[in-house]
Amino acid sequence: MTPSPRRRLIAGFALCSLLTTAPLSSLAQQAEADIPPQIMTRLSGLSEGQMDFLRGFQPLRVIATREKLNQELDRRTPAQIEQFVSDMMMAVEAMAFRPGVDMAEIPLNPEASRFNSFKVVRPQALNEYLREPGPFSVHRYIHQWGGIPTFAGALVAVDQADLIAGNVEVAIVGIPQSMSSGSRDARNAPETIRAMHVLGELDIYSMVDPLAVLNVVDYGDISVDRMSVHRGVEHSYQRIMEIAETGAVPFVVGGDHSLMYPSVKAVRDIDADKPLTVVHFGANYNAEPTRAHLLSDRDAVYRLISEGVVDGNNVIQVGLRGSQATPQAFQWLREQGVKYHTMAEVELRGWDEVAERVIDEAKSATDRVYISLDVSVVDPAQLRGAGRAAPGGLTIRELAPLLRRLCAETQIAGFEIMDLAPMLDLSYVSAMNANYLMNACLTGVAMRKLGLDDDNYMDPMTVDHGQD
């Protein structure tokens, strides 16, 4: 509710438009061209400008490689080459913004009487029945089976006063947005997650019952503008900050991965002096540089690093295998100090070794850790309902133990699960596995509270029957 974080956020938006040329310049470094002599002889008709264009990196924005470009040139007559090069130049030029032709901004309708209605929080005074602050049950029975679905079957909290009064340690909150590039039903994830069991159940690996150990609540959903990521991002930021301010750990149920930006930023800004380590699980690296749009799921990591919300050195990525990450992209990640772990690394080293490495990196970084879990990190066989699914992912039995360990062995400041798209899986499996992964982290947080934060703690009772 304080104005200063909001100003910071808006300043952040302004800043990000200045940061867009980095990937092109790294492409430029890659491509210094030698044109084979047999082609050179046919280029005499080209102007100096056309020759510069051909030697530079711009042709590679429309033709995949230098080799293919040479093939294209090789099979053309000098006249055809002139046409070809001038067409390439036109195409590249047409990609940029055209002042006076293109909209520089998308107009909204300030006349609308409901302009902000999606984010106006209901004032207390309008409530018909007054109640004391504190989390409350929506169940009739002491041991309710079924009933009104809440995250983990937990008590409900409506506002910050409820969190404070209930000494809440974990507040699970939904953000039903599915507007970014995938646009594939992530908006229905919160309601599906609520309607599925497994979250909040006893974990037999540790024999810890997270709901018995922790004060957990369902904090409802954060409202969004379904037609604009941009208009909702500040509101999400404020609502998550409202949770984190009380000392509760926000568990965010997305929503598409654009929401990582306001979520991580809010958790960082609560304690801006202390750096935050982000462990990002996902098939996609989500650090594509800003294109025409300033906010989407594809660029949340790029934005967080380039705006300095998190230091690249404090970003760990696990499970990458999506085709968006080019050699230039990995180069950029390296330059930022990002510790990425692709499925290629897993293939080469084996999962156990990579998982240990991730744990070590997370432990040695800083003392506050944020986990961003995009469900696409899991193989589609076990998590079909992912907005941007990619074959060849992790199994639940690989990922759940790592999540439990990270949440037990480091200080978790925030957790999010993103991009679950329920309608893409007509079975219950995606929802169940998503809940199971969340429960692994919730269990870890409870284990840490109980002091069970040794390396890879498991309960001696369950790992062996002890009959011999």
Q: What is the contact mask toward another protein in residues 18 to 47, using x (rule: CB under 8 A)?
A: x-xx--x-----------------------
Distances 414 to 66, 328, 354 between C-alpha atoms, Å: 45, 30, 23
Task: Work out whether 225 is an interface residue with another protein (CB under 8 A).
Answer: yes
393: which 2 tokens?
């992912």
Q: Is 29 exposed, middle or buried (0-12, 13-18, 19+ CB in 10 A)?
A: exposed
Of residues 18 and 142, the one with the C-beta less far from another protein:
18
Site for another protein in 142-171 (CB under 8 A): none
Of residues 165 and 294, the one with the C-beta less far from another protein:
294
CB 186 within 8 A of CB 421: yes
Contacting range for another protein; rule: CB under 8 A; set: 48-56, 115-123, 357-365, 441-449: 115-123
**Listed residue (43, 406, 460) closest to 54, CA to CA:** 43
Site for another protein in 43-82 (CB under 8 A): 61-62, 72, 80
Task: Work out whether 427 is an interface residue with another protein (CB under 8 A).
Answer: no
Q: Indicate the Cα dihedral angle 463, 346, 410, 367, nearest 10°.
A: 170
Find residue 374's DSSP bridge partners: 418
Task: Work out whether 291 is an interface residue with another protein (CB under 8 A).
Answer: yes
Contacting range for another protein; rule: CB under 8 A; set: 110-118, 139-147, 159-167, 245-253: 110-118
CB of 43 to another protein, least distance (A): 15
DSSP secondary structure of 160-220 = HHHHHHTT-SEEEEEE----SSS-SSGGGHHHHHHTS--TTPPBTTTTB-HHHHS-EEEEE
> Which of 1, 7, 29, 98 touches another protein (CB under 8 A)?
98
> Which of 105, 132, 273, 468 touches another protein (CB under 8 A)?
105
DSSP secondary structure of 356-397 = HHHHHHHHHS-S-EEEEEEGGGB-TTT---BTT--SS-B-HH
Task: Work out whether 106 is an interface residue with another protein (CB under 8 A).
Answer: yes
> Which of 155, 173, 187, 321 touches another protein (CB under 8 A)?
187
> Which of 37, 41, 64, 123 touches another protein (CB under 8 A)?
123
Task: Work out whether 113 is an interface residue with another protein (CB under 8 A).
Answer: yes
Site for another protein in 249-288 (CB under 8 A): none
Residue 416 has phi, psi (to 5 degrees) of -140, 150
